[in-house]
Copies of this chain bind each other. A is one copy, B any other.
Amino acid sequence: MSGKTQGLIGSRVPKIDAWEKVTGTARYGHDITLPGMLHARILRSAHPHARLLAIDTRAARRVPGVKVVLTGDGVTCANLGLMQDHPPLKSGKVRSIRDEIAAVAATSEEAAEEACRLIKVQYEPLPAVFDPLEAMKRGAPRIHDKVKGNLLSFNYRFSSGDVDSALSRSAHVVEGTYTTRFVTHACMEPCFALASWDPQGRLLLHSTTQIPYLLQGHMAKVLGIPGSAIRIKQPVIGGAFGSKLDTYPYEVITALLAREAGRPVRLLYSREEEFVCSPTRQPMIIKMATGCDADGKLTARRCEVILDNGAYTSWGITTPHIMLLGITSLYRVENVLLTAQSVYTNNPTSGAFRGYGNPQGTFANEQQMEALAHKAGIDPVEFRLLNCNQPHSVTPQKFRITTCALRECIETCRDSIDFKAPKEGLEGVGMASMFHVAGGGRVYKSDGCGVIAKLDDFARLTLMTGATEIGTGSDTAMAMIAAEELGLPVENVSVINNDTDVGPWDVGIHASRTTFIAGNATILAARDIKAQLAPHAAEKLGCTEEELEWFGGAIRVTGDHDRSIPIDKVVRSLHFREQGKMVVGKGFYDPPNEFQARDMTGNVSSTYAFATHACRVRVDPETGRITVLKFVAAHDVGRVINPLGLDGQIEGAIAQGLGMALTEQVRLDQGRMQNTSFLDYKLLMARDMPRDIELHYIETNDPEGPYGAKGVSEAGIIPIPAAIANAVADAIRVRIHDLPLTPERVLEAIKSKP
C-alpha cells in the first residue's frame, strides 16, 4: 500500500486541544466535581527536622463541616518512593518543611483550612542540615535513622579506560566545580487529586499524573489493595515537565480521606503550596576535569557529582542515568570515570524535571569544552567539530548512535551567530550542544505504549491510548500520524487518553518518548486498520491493494483518482451487511532499547537527539544584567512532524532554559522556601524573551522513528545554561560556575576580575 500521501507530516497543524484551551472550555482538575464531594487540606511541618511528640486534632474535628481528620498514626499504608522511604503522612518525625502531618476533609475549603489551623502539633526540633556536603560529614544530623552519613545506597559509577593516566598524559587539562541550584517546574496548573471509592471498594483517582499506569500500581502497593481495584483518570493537564512523574503523598492522602469519609474528596494546591510542595530540579555539585592532546582531541574526562536529594527519594534519584549521557557521549572521549552520589538533606525532595539532570551536566561539560579549547588555542567551534559524535558509532556507555547531525547542528549555529563579528561593550557569543535520549529510555520493565484505534461509520477515528498529553502536543502528533496513514482529515481523529480502564498501557510521559513511541504505536494501529479495509476497497475499486492511495477522506486508485471511494463508505459496507465487521485496529510498540546494566552500559534509547544552541549576549557593566540579543537553536529532530508544535516546544524550552540560566531559583532559608509567588520566583515572560530567535531543524530521518521523527521535548532546554554561561564568559572574560547568572553574580564576577 503506497501512493501519494496527504503531506500532513511536516505541515503546521494547530494543536487539536488548542481550541478548548483558548476558549476556556478545557476541563482541568478544578473544573471537575462529583456529587457529595469534600475538600481536602494538608497540614505541613513547622520545622525542617523535628520529632513529633503529640498531635491534638480535637478542636479541628469540632469545626462545622469537617468530616475526617487523619494523622500518620491513624492510617495504615506503605511508604512511597523508589527507596520506600516516604510515608504519605508522617509520624514520629518530620524531615522537611513540606512534611504532611495531618489532613482534613470538609464540606468547604474554608472549613478544611480552619481545621488545619486548629490542629496543635507538639514538636521537638532537631538539628537540621541543608547542604549535601555538610550532610555527608561525620557527626551531621542523621535524617533517616538507618542511613549512615545520609548517603543513598542508590548511587552510580561508570568507568571506561584509565582516566588518571590519560589525564596525566594530556597536553591540556581543565578542572572545575560547577553548581546548580533548586529550580521548580512552575506549572500553570497547581496539583490536583480527586478520589472516590465505589461501594465495592474500587478507587477512582483523578490525578494530573504523568504516569497513570505506574500510579495504578503504586497506589495498590501503598494502600494494600489489588491493582485491579484502582482506576486512574486524568483531566486536562496544565503542565508537568516531569513534576508528576512520581506518586505523591497528596494523592495517597486524598484517597485515604475519601475512603474514610465514604465520599469523594478533592485536593487542590494553592499557588503557594504548589511552590512549596511540588518537586524541584536536583541541585548538583559537579567536579569535572577534561583533557585533550596537543591536536585538541579529547583524551579523558573525570566527573564526580553530588546531588541534593532532599529528605525523601523520588524517581529523581535515577537522574544520574540521564545526566551522565551527555558527559560521556556528546563528544568522543575514550577514558571516562563518573560517579554520582545522592545525599539526604532537610531540604525539599527534588525530582524529575525536563532534561533530567542533563542541563546540569551539560552546564559543566560545555563550559569545560570552551575553556579547554581556549587553553589549547583552538577555536571553540572547531574544537567541538573535531570531537563531536558521528553517525553509526558506539559510545563508551555502549549507546549505539545511528542518525546524528551534531556536526550540522554546530555548523548551523556557527553560521547563524557570527562568532567573529565585532562586539560592542560587554558583548559575547557562546555555544553549547547536547546529547539526549530520543527513542524512549528503558528505565522500566516496559518502555512500550499501546493504541487501540476505532474507525466508525462516519470515518471518525478514535485513538485510545495510555500516552499522556501534558502540553507537548503529542496528541496532535498522534492524530496527524493516524490521519496521514489513513488519508483522513486531522479533524476526524479523537485521542482518548485519560482513563486506565480504557487506554492500553503506557509507561508514562518522560524521556521525550511520547511522540516517538506512541507515534510508532499509532502507525501500527492505523496500518492494522488499513489491512482490514484494503482488500475490500481494492475489490470495490477493481485494483490491487498496492495501487490504493489513502487521501482526503477517501481511498482511490493511484494515478486514476476518479476511481475513488470515501473511507466512511468502505467502513459502512463492511459493517452493514450480514456477518458484518467492525473496524478496530491495535498497535503496541516497545522500542528496541535496553536496560542499562549495573555498570551503566547499555543502549538505553533506540535513537538519540542532538542539538546545538548559540547566543549573543550583552552584559550591562553597571548592573550585571544580561540581555540575550540573539538566540539560535539547531536540532537534529529526525523528522519534523508538526512544525507549529515543534516551534512551541523549542521556544518554550528556551524560555524555561533561559529562566534556569538567568533568573530562576527557589530560595531556601533553613529548608523553607522564601519566594512562593510568581512575583518573587522569576519566570521569563514573553517580553523577557530574546527578540531574535532562530530555529533550525535538521532532518536525519531516523529509521526507527515514526516517519523518521525523534523525541525532542527535553532537548531544547539542555544546552541553554551552558550556552549562556559561555557567552557571558566571552563577554566579561570571567567564567561563572554557579547558576543562575543573576545580575548580582555577574557583577561580582566582573569585580573579581584580576
Could you tell me which A residues sit within 8 Å of B by CB distance? 19-20, 22-23, 25, 27, 31, 33, 35-36, 196, 198-200, 213, 216-217, 220, 226-228, 230-231, 445-446, 448, 450, 452, 454, 456-460, 462, 464, 491-492, 494, 496, 500-502, 504-505, 568, 575-582, 584, 586, 588, 590, 592, 594
Q: How far is the CB of A27 from chain B (nearest CB, A)?
A: 7
CB distance from A352 to the nearest CB of B (A): 21
Residues in B neighbouring A456, C-beta threshold 8 A: 213, 227-228, 500, 505
Checking B31, B448, B501 against A494 with a beta-carbon cut-off of 8 angstroms, the contacting residue is B501
By the criterion CB–CB under 8 Å, are A501 and B446 in contact? Answer: no
| Chain B residue, CB-CB nearest to A461 | B228
Residues of B within 8 A of A504 (CB): 454, 582, 584
Alpha-carbon gap, A715 to B196, bound state (A): 39
CA distance A238 to B488 in the complex (A): 38
- Which residue in B33, B198, B575, B582 is a CB contact (below 8 Å) of A586? B582
Given A496-B502, A501-B494, A592-B578, answer yes or no on A584-B450 (Cβ-Cβ < 8 Å).
yes
Bound-complex Cα distance A36 to B22 (A)? 16
How many Å from the CB of A656 to the closest CB on chain B?
28
A141 to B366, CA, bound (A): 92
CB atoms of B592 and A460 under 8 A apart: no
CB-CB under 8 A for A228 and B458, given A199-B19, A584-B450, A586-B584: yes
| List of B residues within 8 angstroms of A216 by Cβ | 458
22 examples of A-B residue contacts, CB within 8 angstroms: A23-B199, A25-B198, A25-B199, A31-B35, A216-B458, A220-B458, A227-B457, A228-B456, A228-B459, A445-B576, A448-B582, A452-B454, A452-B584, A456-B500, A462-B502, A464-B464, A496-B502, A502-B502, A504-B582, A504-B584, A579-B590, A580-B590
Chain B residues within 8 Å of A198, by CB = 19-20, 25
CA of A459 to CA of B228, assembled, Å? 6
* Bound form: Cα–Cα A250–B711 in Å: 48
Q: Given A35-B27, A457-B505, do A580 and B575 touch, yes or no (CB 8 Å)?
A: no
Q: Give the residues in chain B near A200, CB-CB below 8 Å.
A: 19, 491
Residue of B nearest to A18 (CB): B199
Q: Is A588 in contact with B582, judged by CB distance below 8 angstroms?
A: yes
A554 CB, nearest partner CB in chain B, Å: 14
Residues of B contacting A27 with CB < 8 Å? 35
CB contacts (< 8 Å) of A494 on chain B: these are: 231, 501
Question: How far, in Å, is A357 (CB) from chain B's closest CB?
Answer: 25
Alpha-carbon gap, A581 to B496, bound state (A): 20
> In the assembly, what is the distance between CA of A78 and CA of B586, in Å?
37
Q: Which of A27, A213, A464 has the most CB of B within 10 A?
A: A464
Q: Evaluate contact between A227 and B23: CB separation under 8 angstroms.
A: no
A217 contacts B457, C-beta separation under 8 Å: yes
Question: How far is it, in angstroms, between the C-alpha of A320 and the C-alpha of B492 when the chains are bound?
Answer: 39
A228-B460, A448-B582, A578-B594 known; 11 new pairs, CB 8 Å cut-off, are A20-B199, A31-B35, A226-B458, A227-B458, A228-B459, A228-B568, A446-B576, A454-B504, A462-B502, A502-B502, A504-B584
Closest residue on chain B to residue A503 by CB atoms:
B454
Contact of A501 (CB < 8 Å), options: B448, B496, B582: B496
6 A-B pairs with the lowest CB-CB distances in the bound complex, closest first:
A227-B458, A445-B576, A19-B199, A228-B460, A450-B582, A582-B588
A197 CB to closest chain B CB (Å) equals: 9
State A35–B200 Cα separation when bound (angstroms). 30
Query: Chain B's nearest CB lies how many Å from the CB of A261?
Result: 13
Set of chain B residues within 8 Å of A20, measured between Cβ atoms: 198-199
- The answer for the CA separation of A586 and B577 in the assembled complex, in Å, is 19
Residue of B nearest to A501 (CB): B462
Inter-chain CA distance A411–B580, complex, in Å, is 40
CB distance from A475 to the nearest CB of B (A): 14
Residues in B neighbouring A220, C-beta threshold 8 A: 458
B579 and A502 contacting across the interface, CB-CB below 8 Å: no
Determine the chain B residues whose CB is within 8 A of the CB of A502 once the complex forms. Answer: 454, 462, 464, 496, 502
Q: In the complex the two chains form, is B458's CB within 8 Å of A582's CB?
A: no
Do A575 and B457 have beta carbons less than 8 Å apart? no
On chain B, the residues within 8 Å of A500 by CB distance are 456
- Knowing A228-B460, A462-B501, A575-B505 are in contact, say whether A446-B492 is a contact too (CB < 8 A): no
A41 to B216, CA, bound (A): 43
Complex Cα spacing A457 to B506, Å: 11
Give Cα A306 to B403, complex, Å: 78
Q: How far is the CB of A587 from chain B (nearest CB, A)?
A: 9
Across the interface, which residues of B come within 8 angstroms of A217, CB to CB?
457-458
Task: Name the distance in Å between A417's Cβ and chain B's nearest Cβ.
Answer: 40
Report how far A584 CA is from B578 CA in the complex, Å: 25
Once the chains bind, are B584 and A448 in contact (CB under 8 Å)?
no
Considering the complex, give the chain B residue whose CB is closest to the CB of A505.
B582
Bound Cα distance A578, B230 (Å) = 26
Contact call A580/B448, Cβ cutoff below 8 A: yes
Chain B residues near A579 (CB, 8 Å)? 590, 592
- Contact partners of A454 in chain B: CB under 8 A: 452, 501-502, 504
A448 touches B575 (CB 8 A): yes
Nearest Cβ on chain B to A295's Cβ, whole angstroms: 41
Query: In the complex, A496 Cα to B579 Cα: how many Å?
Result: 24
Shortest beta-carbon distance from A628 to chain B in Å: 35
Query: Which among B33, B460, B501 is the interface contact of A33 at CB below 8 angstroms?
Result: B33
A67 and B203 CA atoms in complex are apart in Å by 39
CA distance A33 to B31 in the complex (A): 10
A459 to B230, CA, bound (A): 12
Closest residue on chain B to residue A200 by CB atoms? B19
Which residues on B sit within 8 Å (CB–CB) of A35? Answer: 25, 27, 31
Question: What is the bound-complex CA distance between A578 and B588, given in angstroms?
Answer: 12
CA distance A23 to B505 in the complex (A): 31
**B-chain residues with CB within 8 Å of residue A230 when the two chains form the complex:** 458
